Structure 1
Amino acid sequence: MLNFILIVVFLITGLILQKVSFIPAKFATYLNNYLIYIVLPALALKYLPGVELKFELLLPIGSAWISFALSWIIFGSLGKYLKWSDGLTGCLIITAGLANTSFVGFPIVKALYGEEAVKIALLIDQAGSFIIVSSVAVVVASIYSVGKKRKRDVTKKILTFPPFIFFILAMAMNISSLETPALILPVLDVVAATLTPIALTAVGLQVKISMASISSKYLWMGLAYKLVLIPLVIFVLYAFVFELKGMMLKVSVIEAAMAPMITGSIIAITHDLEPKLASLLVGVGIPLSFLTIAVWYFILG
């Protein structure tokens, strides 16, 4: 319950700060840069070296990868067919393709299914969502934000992007069975703890809710994919094709049904991929997801 209260508090804080005259015009940009250049690298070092990939958990973990891959296929194809701008296409791929599997996901999973279910949710988040947002999402953002620049420039942008560098470092540590030095863990804990308040405040600063924005077909296309289509795909695929049952099925579907990931929206915003839409997908998606998740919980039984 505390996490839900904090979501509302920090989103409202960001909305209020929009009206404060002495707040710098680029304050949201400063917060976004802090998240990208400080928090994401810290999270990579904190979590990824210790991720344990077990064969029997590949299906739950795979739900996050399926969600992002299908988002790329659907919105990438629609973008070409309907001649959307690269910014719009990239925004929908990233923001609708990534679920808020941690800050919103963990407390909801725990409340619905108990402590054991959180262990499955943790792997979905760390081996799924977090790896995607640290690597593949960065690649997508770079591709859709550079227009007609050369492939060499795209590659350079990806390889010099701090979250991607630290993702590679952390995964190399994982493969080599190297742990993050205990000396820096307290620092990483402090930095990681700032993710939620800073990210939600940044989103609130950038959300401009109006009748025009709420009526945007792109907002509802993104939320329809994230809250309805992808959990339906995971449910049908896992329950009837792979015949997954019990807790693993329930957690996989519920985590897939979470609202768009805050960090994913920050990636889109910092690459100038329709920042207003990216903020709206999170700002509207989080409260709306509480209703749609209740429906999925009822369906799962």
Structure 2
Amino acid sequence: MTNLLELYVKLVGLALVGFFLGRKLPTTVPNRLGKWLFSVGVPISIVAFLREADLSGQIWIAPAIAYLAIFLGAFLAWLGIKGQAYLTNTIPQESTQGSLILAAMVGNTGYMGFPIILAMVGKEYFAWALFYDLLGSLFGAYGLGVVLASHFGGSVGNYWQITKAISINPALWSFGFGLLLRQVNIPNVVEFCLEKFAWSVVALSLMLIGMRLSRLNSWHRLPQAAMSLAIKMLLVPLVIGVMLPLFGVTGAPAQVMVLQMAMPPAFATLVIAETFNLDRDLAVTALALGAIILLLTLPVWLWLF
């Protein structure tokens, strides 16, 4: 309970700081901060946290669990759309269907998931969250997510550009370098500075979330967003979380997997929605509402698992 309260103070406090800064500072600031975190901050922090992470056990199953959660979320959202059409005799526009499925698929397992895992489970099991995000959520969003978005948005994506964007992702490269550098001895001073830098990046990531939320002004589409969030943040973690012992995943690793599955929709869903002309209002509403709901659902998942 002490750890949870401390997490809430940091999570809400830093996000609020970012929210107020986002209202006051020029729009270029969060954009530049986001680019710096993407290119420099997050990759270096991945290397730092990987040095203290435990890579033993069934850690390679984490991406498989991520894909299972992604496909289950998409399937349940599709069923929800069909059920709504059957009960109401109305079929949502294809752009709305695309945003509904995207919001139920991919979670914010990086900028929001990493700080929560580090605070509640610890650095020892951080690699489970890392494998889930970089080898699961990343490809789920910019692979399957883009394919679905191009279908529902009625536009044809440049799949070569998508492949290129994934292959040059700095976080993926730092993940590889971090694995190689685990066995390299570095001076204690450098290790200390690296760790402090990594935690500073976590704080900046939470502030960036607040900055981005400060720019979201739409609260339309609440009922439809609620359906996607119920699937993404409640049904999928519960169903797969109960199944985790069947895969041999228990204890702290299972807690990491459940928390990652229970994250609100990723900001990538809004980027994809805007790129492929999906329902932007629905994507925005799901992002904002999901961040609020997380504060209510987080203690439940920690108690259940």
Please classify the TM superposition score into its range, dividing by the shorter chain length.
Answer: 0.5 to 0.7
Residue 163 of structure 2 corresponds to residue 155 of structure 1: yes
How do 1:2-21 and structure 2 match up within 5 A? 2-20=6-24
Task: Give the Å deviation of 1:36.
Answer: 1.0
Paired with 1:42 and 1:76, the residues of 2 have a C-alpha distance of 38
Q: Is the 8 A contact 1:101 1:121 kept in 2?
A: no
Question: 1:220 aligned to 222, 226, 237, which one?
Answer: 226
User: What's the secondary structure of 2:95's corresponding residue?
Assistant: coil
Matched to 1:289, the amino acid is L
Residue 99 of structure 2 corresponds to residue 88 of structure 1: yes
Provide TM-score, normalisation by structure 2.
0.67
Corresponding pairs, count: 281
Paired with 1:224 and 1:90, the residues of 2 have a C-alpha distance of 12
Question: 1:207 aligned to 205, 213, 219, which one?
Answer: 213
Change (3 A) 1:37 1:296: closer
Q: Is the 8 A contact 2:213 2:288 kept in 1?
A: yes
User: What's the secondary structure of 1:213's corresponding residue?
Assistant: coil
Indicate the RMSD between aligned Cα atoms, in angstroms: 4.4
How do 1:278-289 and structure 2 match up within 5 A? 281=286, 283-289=288-294
Task: Give the Å deviation of 1:98.
Answer: 3.8
Change (3 A) 1:120 1:214: farther
Gaps of 5+ in 2: 83-90
How do 1:22-61 and structure 2 match up within 5 A? 23-48=25-50, 52-56=54-58
Change (3 A) 1:280 1:50: farther
Task: Give the Å deviation of 1:5.
Answer: 0.6
Deviations 1:17-50 (A, max 9, x none): 2432xx2122221121112111222133234477
Change (3 A) 1:292 1:56: same
How do 1:200-279 and structure 2 match up within 5 A? 200-207=206-213, 213=219, 215-238=221-244, 242=246, 247=251, 251=255, 254-256=258-260, 258-260=262-264, 264-265=266-267, 267-268=268-269
How do 1:53-202 and structure 2 match up within 5 A? 53-56=55-58, 63-71=65-73, 83-84=94-95, 88=99, 92=103, 95-96=106-107, 98=109, 100-109=112-121, 118=122, 121-133=125-137, 137-139=141-143, 148-167=156-175, 169-170=176-177, 174=179, 179=183, 182=186, 185-186=191-192, 188-202=194-208
Change (3 A) 1:256 1:33: closer
* Identical counterparts, % of pairs: 15
Change (3 A) 1:105 1:285: farther
Change (3 A) 1:203 1:249: closer
User: What's the secondary structure of 1:193's corresponding residue?
Assistant: helix
Paired with 2:213 and 2:39, the residues of 1 have a C-alpha distance of 22
Paired with 2:142 and 2:108, the residues of 1 have a C-alpha distance of 13
Paired with 1:187 and 1:145, the residues of 2 have a C-alpha distance of 42
User: What's the secondary structure of 1:124's corresponding residue?
Assistant: helix
Matched to 1:27, the amino acid is V
